[in-house]
Amino acid sequence: MSLLPPLGAGLDAPGALPAQPARTPGPPLWLLLELTYRCPLHCVFCYNPTDFAGTGAELSTEDWRRVLREARALGAVQLGLSGGEPLAREDLEELVAEAHGLGFYINLITSGVGLSEARIAALKNAGLDHIQLSFQDSSREMNDFLSSTRTFDLKAQVAALIRKYDYPMVLNVVLHRHNIDHVGAILEMAERMGAQYVELANTQYYGWAWLNREQLLPSRAQLARAEAVTQAFRARVGNRMQVYFVVPDYFEVRPKACMSGLGSVFLAVAPDGTAMPCHAARMLPGLELPSVRTASVREIWYDSAAFNRFRGEQWMKEPCASCPERDKDHGGCRCQAYLLTGDAANADPVCDKSPYHHLVTAAVARAEQAVAAAGGAAGAQALRFRDHRISIPVVPETPAARR
């Protein structure tokens, strides 16, 4: 699945305490288990590694249960079960039951493919708290095209089942050039389906989305229209539905506080047991990621070099090292810094203080031209669909040979 969770959402709300300072790491409050890379969909914006086909065997049920126990003992409490498609794991119900018994709040992040009524009932019984269902668009044609499958009708049936079994319903739609103009129809679809929360998550450019960036990045006018439509929808429905609009950071001049700082609150485990301080971190060169097969979650979180690498500020270069805003955004996203500049320790080039910021504005300028040339309905013939039969290494835009 494709969404980076909205970390820290609500942490600064009134009645809440301020986040802990990053000096001594707090517990890994958010645990994301990517149970499998298997997935029936072929989404063009998937953040999974583009070479996932070459990764090792999936963890066993007992391995995952141990990870759950160890992480919970450290204080992990929000659990995401994702992938790939987590329903591809036949032991999903068993893992949910274990997590529920441990006191996790359990989020299933799914395409809906494989979610029969028997399974949704079994998951409810096991203690699953919430289901996030992805749609690729509001229409059957676009949904099915963008996922390279025929799944729209099935997803609509799953949405009805989610409501029938009284789960809070979160619809997630990843936005990009080819569907962002349909935001109004997407929101109306969500309303008809009885969604409580809608996440309109603009594509973040990692994994397969990075390969397809030139075809996916919207224009500024598209973005402005989508935001205006979302605002009008929010004004109409009030607090009956919560609509999150995740802005694409390429249009910003300051970077996002990615993961609230790497190694601060978030721990992800890949299907083969590789532990990561963010979903995309396995592409970072020189970061020797530990495995839950050979280390405890405690050792991984507190002691491993990989999780300590980007904690605090020691790793920062200029312009971050002396920046008055470094506490706020932690230098932005390490993966984006690597993909655009070739060096993960550079400032995220989304920041207009970065000497590489022109790479971001140039990508946006190319998107403007492409959208204008296609009259708004951009051609999609060059899209590369996620596929286990092909394995593509990620290459940064600017190799860091000079540094």
Partner 1 sequence: MSGIAGSARPGLGHGLKLQWEPAQDAHVLLFPEGMVKLNGSAGAIMSRCDGLRTVAEIVADLERAYGATGLAPDVEAFLALALQKRWLELRE
Cβ 46 vs Cβ 209: under 8 Å? yes
Cα separation, 180 vs 32, whole angstroms: 27
Name the residue among 168, 159, 88, 158 with its Cα closest to residue 128. Answer: 168
Residue closer to partner 1, measured from CB, 22 or 340: 22
Please give the structure tokens belonging to residue 241.
């539905």
According to DSSP, the β-strands at 78-82 and 105-110 are parallel
Cα 344 from chain centroid (whole Å): 19
Residue closer to partner 1, measured from CB, 181 or 199: 199
Name the residue among 202, 263, 256, 266 with its Cα closest to residue 230. Answer: 202
Residue closer to partner 1, measured from CB, 168 or 396: 168
Shortest distance, CB of residue 311 to partner 1, whole angstroms? 18
Distances (CA, A) of 123 to 107, 113, 129, 250, 269: 11, 15, 9, 38, 21
Give the amino acid at 213. R
Please give the structure tokens belonging to residue 56.
């090792």
Shortest distance, CB of residue 264 to partner 1, whole angstroms? 14
Residue closer to partner 1, measured from CB, 190 or 394: 190
Shortest distance, CB of residue 109 to partner 1, whole angstroms? 9
Shortest distance, CB of residue 374 to partner 1, whole angstroms? 34
Q: Phi first, then psi: what are they for 374, rounded to 5°? A: -90, 5
Residue closer to partner 1, measured from CB, 77 or 323: 77
Name the residue among 211, 246, 217 with its Cα closest to residue 3. Answer: 246
Distances (CA, A) of 201 to 6, 74, 145, 231, 274: 10, 30, 19, 15, 26
Cis peptide before 319 (omega within 30 of 0): yes
Residue closer to partner 1, measured from CB, 10 or 54: 10
Residue 276's SS3 state is strand
Give the amino acid at 90. E
Cβ 178 vs Cβ 207: under 8 Å? no
Shortest distance, CB of residue 14 to partner 1, whole angstroms? 6
Residue closer to partner 1, measured from CB, 14 or 324: 14
Residue closer to partner 1, measured from CB, 124 or 225: 124
Name the residue among 187, 189, 196 with its Cα closest to residue 167. Answer: 196
Shortest distance, CB of residue 239 to partner 1, whole angstroms? 6
Shortest distance, CB of residue 294 to partner 1, whole angstroms? 25
- Residues forming contacts to partner 1 in the complex (CB under 8 A) are 5-6, 9-11, 13-17, 26-27, 29-30, 74-75, 77-78, 80, 103, 105, 107, 129-130, 132, 167-168, 170, 196-197, 239, 242
Question: With the CA atoms of 102, 104, 109 and 114 taken in that order, what torsion angle do they form, in degrees rounded to the nearest 10?
Answer: 30
Shortest distance, CB of residue 132 to partner 1, whole angstroms? 7
Residue closer to partner 1, measured from CB, 78 or 151: 78
Shortest distance, CB of residue 259 to partner 1, whole angstroms? 14
